[in-house]
Protein backbone atom coordinates (compact mmCIF):
# COMPACT_ATOMS: atom_id res chain seq x y z
CA UNK A 1 0.00 0.00 0.00
CA UNK A 2 1.16 3.52 -0.73
CA UNK A 3 2.28 5.48 2.32
CA UNK A 4 1.19 8.82 3.71
CA UNK A 5 3.18 11.47 5.56
CA UNK A 6 1.58 13.77 8.12
CA UNK A 7 2.98 16.27 10.62
CA UNK A 8 3.25 14.81 14.10
CA UNK A 9 1.24 17.60 15.70
CA UNK A 10 -0.63 20.82 15.00
CA UNK A 11 -2.30 23.43 17.15
CA UNK A 12 -5.29 25.62 16.58
CA UNK A 13 -7.50 28.05 18.42
CA UNK A 14 -11.17 27.40 18.95
CA UNK A 15 -13.47 28.66 16.19
CA UNK A 16 -10.59 29.08 13.74
CA UNK A 17 -10.15 26.99 10.60
CA UNK A 18 -7.68 24.12 10.67
CA UNK A 19 -5.86 22.72 7.66
CA UNK A 20 -4.36 19.28 8.22
CA UNK A 21 -1.95 18.29 5.43
CA UNK A 22 -1.14 14.84 4.11
CA UNK A 23 1.44 13.88 1.52
CA UNK A 24 1.00 10.73 -0.53
CA UNK A 25 3.43 11.03 -3.42
CA UNK A 26 3.23 7.33 -4.38
CA UNK A 27 -0.57 7.24 -4.60
CA UNK A 28 -1.97 5.05 -7.36
CA UNK A 29 -4.89 5.85 -9.60
CA UNK A 30 -7.28 3.60 -7.68
CA UNK A 31 -6.28 4.72 -4.18
CA UNK A 32 -9.01 6.49 -2.25
CA UNK A 33 -7.92 9.04 0.35
CA UNK A 34 -9.60 8.43 3.69
CA UNK A 35 -9.47 10.47 6.88
CA UNK A 36 -10.31 9.11 10.28
CA UNK A 37 -9.91 10.68 13.68
CA UNK A 38 -9.52 9.21 17.12
CA UNK A 39 -10.79 11.14 20.09
CA UNK A 40 -9.16 10.44 23.45
CA UNK A 41 -10.09 7.04 24.86
CA UNK A 42 -12.25 6.16 21.87
CA UNK A 43 -12.04 4.10 18.72
CA UNK A 44 -11.35 5.85 15.43
CA UNK A 45 -14.26 7.43 13.58
CA UNK A 46 -14.65 8.09 9.88
CA UNK A 47 -14.36 11.71 8.81
CA UNK A 48 -14.35 11.90 5.04
CA UNK A 49 -12.96 10.29 1.91
CA UNK A 50 -12.36 11.18 -1.72
CA UNK A 51 -10.74 10.08 -4.94
CA UNK A 52 -10.07 13.07 -7.17
CA UNK A 53 -12.56 15.85 -6.50
CA UNK A 54 -12.84 17.97 -3.39
CA UNK A 55 -15.45 16.67 -0.96
CA UNK A 56 -17.57 18.27 1.73
CA UNK A 57 -19.64 16.75 4.48
CA UNK A 58 -21.05 17.87 7.79
CA UNK A 59 -17.78 17.24 9.61
CA UNK A 60 -15.13 18.57 7.27
CA UNK A 61 -13.90 19.28 3.76
CA UNK A 62 -11.27 17.39 1.83
CA UNK A 63 -9.15 19.25 -0.70
CA UNK A 64 -7.22 17.03 -3.08
CA UNK A 65 -4.34 18.35 -5.14
CA UNK A 66 -4.69 18.11 -8.89
CA UNK A 67 -1.84 15.59 -9.11
CA UNK A 68 -3.32 13.74 -6.09
CA UNK A 69 0.05 13.64 -4.38
CA UNK A 70 -1.23 15.56 -1.42
CA UNK A 71 -4.48 16.40 0.29
CA UNK A 72 -5.73 18.64 3.08
CA UNK A 73 -8.42 18.00 5.63
CA UNK A 74 -10.17 21.24 6.51
CA UNK A 75 -12.08 21.78 9.72
CA UNK A 76 -13.88 25.05 9.10
CA UNK A 77 -14.33 26.09 12.73
CA UNK A 78 -12.40 24.05 15.23
CA UNK A 79 -14.07 23.21 18.52
CA UNK A 80 -12.57 21.70 21.63
CA UNK A 81 -14.26 18.45 20.66
CA UNK A 82 -12.13 18.34 17.50
CA UNK A 83 -8.98 17.71 19.55
CA UNK A 84 -7.94 14.26 18.37
CA UNK A 85 -5.44 12.27 16.36
CA UNK A 86 -6.21 12.59 12.64
CA UNK A 87 -5.20 9.79 10.30
CA UNK A 88 -4.79 10.11 6.56
CA UNK A 89 -5.08 6.68 4.95
CA UNK A 90 -4.90 5.44 1.37
CA UNK A 91 -7.15 2.56 0.43
CA UNK A 92 -6.93 0.82 -2.94
CA UNK A 93 -10.28 0.25 -4.55
CA UNK A 94 -9.02 -2.65 -6.61
CA UNK A 95 -9.69 -6.26 -5.69
CA UNK A 96 -10.54 -7.66 -2.31
CA UNK A 97 -7.99 -5.57 -0.44
CA UNK A 98 -10.36 -2.63 -0.28
CA UNK A 99 -11.47 -2.09 3.27
CA UNK A 100 -8.14 -2.94 4.87
CA UNK A 101 -6.98 0.29 6.46
CA UNK A 102 -3.31 0.94 7.20
CA UNK A 103 -3.00 3.54 9.93
CA UNK A 104 0.14 5.63 10.34
CA UNK A 105 0.93 7.69 13.41
CA UNK A 106 -1.39 10.51 12.42
CA UNK A 107 -1.42 14.17 13.43
CA UNK A 108 -2.22 15.12 17.00
CA UNK A 109 -4.47 18.19 16.85
CA UNK A 110 -4.59 20.40 19.93
CA UNK A 111 -7.35 23.01 20.08
CA UNK A 112 -6.90 25.92 22.47
CA UNK A 113 -9.89 27.70 24.03
CA UNK B 1 -27.25 1.31 22.16
CA UNK B 2 -23.81 1.12 20.54
CA UNK B 3 -23.66 -0.46 17.09
CA UNK B 4 -20.32 -2.19 17.75
CA UNK B 5 -19.67 -3.57 21.21
CA UNK B 6 -16.60 -5.22 22.65
CA UNK B 7 -16.23 -7.37 25.74
CA UNK B 8 -14.47 -7.17 28.05
CA UNK B 9 -13.52 -3.50 28.09
CA UNK B 10 -10.53 -4.14 30.32
CA UNK B 11 -8.67 -7.35 31.06
CA UNK B 12 -5.55 -8.17 33.02
CA UNK B 13 -4.12 -11.62 32.56
CA UNK B 14 -0.92 -13.56 33.04
CA UNK B 15 1.63 -14.84 30.58
CA UNK B 16 0.59 -18.14 29.05
CA UNK B 17 -3.14 -17.77 29.61
CA UNK B 18 -5.67 -18.13 26.78
CA UNK B 19 -7.74 -15.02 26.27
CA UNK B 20 -10.77 -14.35 24.10
CA UNK B 21 -11.95 -10.89 23.13
CA UNK B 22 -15.42 -10.65 21.71
CA UNK B 23 -17.00 -8.26 19.25
CA UNK B 24 -20.67 -7.95 18.37
CA UNK B 25 -22.35 -5.63 15.91
CA UNK B 26 -25.93 -4.70 15.16
CA UNK B 27 -25.22 -2.90 11.88
CA UNK B 28 -25.85 -5.96 9.72
CA UNK B 29 -22.42 -5.66 8.13
CA UNK B 30 -20.63 -8.59 6.58
CA UNK B 31 -17.13 -7.18 6.99
CA UNK B 32 -15.43 -7.23 10.36
CA UNK B 33 -11.90 -6.40 11.48
CA UNK B 34 -9.60 -6.70 14.47
CA UNK B 35 -6.88 -4.11 15.11
CA UNK B 36 -4.39 -3.52 17.88
CA UNK B 37 -3.02 -0.17 18.98
CA UNK B 38 0.18 0.31 20.94
CA UNK B 39 0.82 3.53 22.87
CA UNK B 40 1.56 6.49 20.60
CA UNK B 41 1.09 4.46 17.46
CA UNK B 42 -1.62 3.98 14.88
CA UNK B 43 -3.74 0.86 14.56
CA UNK B 44 -2.44 -2.32 12.96
CA UNK B 45 -4.68 -4.91 11.35
CA UNK B 46 -4.61 -8.38 12.94
CA UNK B 47 -7.36 -10.28 11.10
CA UNK B 48 -10.31 -9.43 8.91
CA UNK B 49 -13.37 -11.24 7.64
CA UNK B 50 -15.45 -10.21 4.63
CA UNK B 51 -18.20 -12.72 5.38
CA UNK B 52 -18.90 -15.62 7.73
CA UNK B 53 -16.90 -18.10 5.65
CA UNK B 54 -14.02 -15.74 4.88
CA UNK B 55 -11.13 -15.18 7.30
CA UNK B 56 -7.93 -13.42 6.33
CA UNK B 57 -4.69 -12.58 8.11
CA UNK B 58 -3.68 -8.99 8.51
CA UNK B 59 -0.20 -7.58 8.98
CA UNK B 60 0.36 -8.90 12.53
CA UNK B 61 -1.57 -12.17 12.89
CA UNK B 62 1.15 -14.23 14.61
CA UNK B 63 0.07 -15.26 18.10
CA UNK B 64 -3.61 -14.57 17.38
CA UNK B 65 -6.55 -16.53 16.00
CA UNK B 66 -10.12 -15.54 15.20
CA UNK B 67 -13.55 -17.08 14.94
CA UNK B 68 -16.50 -15.71 13.00
CA UNK B 69 -19.39 -17.38 14.78
CA UNK B 70 -22.09 -15.47 12.93
CA UNK B 71 -22.47 -12.38 10.82
CA UNK B 72 -22.73 -10.30 13.97
CA UNK B 73 -19.92 -11.86 16.00
CA UNK B 74 -16.16 -11.91 15.50
CA UNK B 75 -13.90 -13.14 18.30
CA UNK B 76 -10.15 -12.69 18.72
CA UNK B 77 -8.15 -15.22 20.73
CA UNK B 78 -4.69 -15.09 22.17
CA UNK B 79 -3.78 -18.77 22.56
CA UNK B 80 -0.93 -18.15 24.97
CA UNK B 81 -0.72 -14.51 25.96
CA UNK B 82 2.66 -12.80 26.22
CA UNK B 83 3.55 -9.37 27.65
CA UNK B 84 4.20 -7.74 24.26
CA UNK B 85 0.54 -8.38 23.40
CA UNK B 86 -0.36 -5.76 25.96
CA UNK B 87 -2.26 -3.21 23.87
CA UNK B 88 -5.60 -1.64 23.05
CA UNK B 89 -7.68 -3.86 20.76
CA UNK B 90 -10.35 -2.52 18.45
CA UNK B 91 -13.02 -4.29 16.45
CA UNK B 92 -14.53 -2.62 13.39
CA UNK B 93 -17.17 -3.31 10.76
CA UNK B 94 -17.94 -2.05 7.30
CA UNK B 95 -20.76 -2.54 4.83
CA UNK B 96 -20.85 -4.16 1.36
CA UNK B 97 -19.96 -2.23 -1.83
CA UNK B 98 -23.60 -1.26 -2.45
CA UNK B 99 -23.97 0.20 1.03
CA UNK B 100 -24.03 3.99 1.21
CA UNK B 101 -21.50 3.76 4.05
CA UNK B 102 -19.27 1.29 2.20
CA UNK B 103 -16.21 3.47 2.64
CA UNK B 104 -16.63 3.84 6.38
CA UNK B 105 -15.40 1.54 9.09
CA UNK B 106 -17.28 1.68 12.36
CA UNK B 107 -15.16 1.00 15.40
CA UNK B 108 -16.00 -0.40 18.79
CA UNK B 109 -14.89 1.25 22.04
CA UNK B 110 -11.84 -0.97 22.42
CA UNK B 111 -10.56 -3.55 24.90
CA UNK B 112 -7.56 -2.67 27.01
CA UNK B 113 -5.55 -5.86 27.55
CA UNK B 114 -2.64 -6.13 29.95
CA UNK B 115 -0.50 -9.27 30.00
CA UNK B 116 1.69 -9.57 33.08
Please write down the HEC assignment for all residues of chain A.
CCCCECCCEEEEECCCCEEEEEECCCCCCCEEEEEEEECCCCCCEEEEEECCCCEECCCCEEEECCCCCEEEEEECCCCHHHCEEEEEEEEECCHHHCCCCCCCCCEEEEEEC
pLDDT digits (tens, 9 = 90+) for B17-76: 999 999 999 999 999 999 999 987 889 999 999 889 999 999 899 999 999 999 999 999
Which residues does chain A have within 8 Å of residue B106's beta carbon, measured at their own beta carbons? 46
When scoring B29, B39, B42, B112 by the number of chain A Cβ atoms within 10 A, the one with the most, hence best to mutate, is B42
Which residues does chain A have within 8 Å of residue B33's beta carbon, measured at their own beta carbons? 99-101
A97 phi-psi bin (left φ>0, alpha ψ -120 to 50, beta other): alpha
B90 vs A43: CB contact, 8 Å cut-off?
A: yes
The pLDDT of residue A24 is 94
CA distances to A36, A55, B91 from B95, in Å: 17, 21, 14
Shortest Cα distance, chain A CAs vs residue B99, angstroms: 13
- With contact defined as beta carbons under 8 Å apart, do A32 and A93 qualify? yes
When scoring A43, A45, A87, A101 by the number of chain B Cβ atoms within 10 A, the one with the most, hence best to mutate, is A43
- Terminal C-alpha separation, chain A: 38
When scoring B74, B91, B105 by the number of chain A Cβ atoms within 10 A, the one with the most, hence best to mutate, is B105
Query: Span A16-32, mean pLDDT?
Result: 93
Q: What span, in angstroms and rounded, lies between the C-alpha atoms of B47 and B43?
A: 12
Residue A99 has pLDDT above 80, yes or no: no
Shortest Cα distance, chain A CAs vs residue B81, angstroms: 23
- With contact defined as beta carbons under 8 Å apart, do B110 and B89 qualify? yes
B104 vs A46: CB contact, 8 Å cut-off?
A: yes
Share of residues in chain A with pLDDT > 90 (%): 76
Listed residue (B52, B59, B57, B58) closest to B29, CA to CA: B52
Q: Cβ of A84: how many Cβ atoms within 10 Å?
A: 21
B43 vs A49: CB contact, 8 Å cut-off?
A: no
Q: Cβ of B105: how many Cβ atoms within 10 Å?
A: 27
> Which residues does residue B24 pair with via DSSP β-bridges, in sequence order?
B5, B73
pLDDT digits (tens, 9 = 90+) for B69-107: 999 999 999 999 999 999 999 999 998 777 766 778 999
In this structure, of A25-34, A78-87, A96-105, B69-78, the range with the lowest mean pLDDT score is: A96-105
**Chain B contact for A32 (CB, 8 A cutoff):** yes
CA distances to A69, B11, B47, B75, B84 from B60, in Å: 28, 21, 8, 16, 12
B109 vs A42: CB contact, 8 Å cut-off?
A: yes
Amino acid sequence: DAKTTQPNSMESNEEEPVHLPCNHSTISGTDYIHWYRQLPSQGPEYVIHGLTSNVNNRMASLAIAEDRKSSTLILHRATLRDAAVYYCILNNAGGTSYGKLTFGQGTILTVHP
Amino acid sequence: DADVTQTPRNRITKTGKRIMLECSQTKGHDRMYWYRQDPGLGLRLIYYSFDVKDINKGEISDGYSVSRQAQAKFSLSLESAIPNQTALYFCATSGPPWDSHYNEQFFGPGTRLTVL
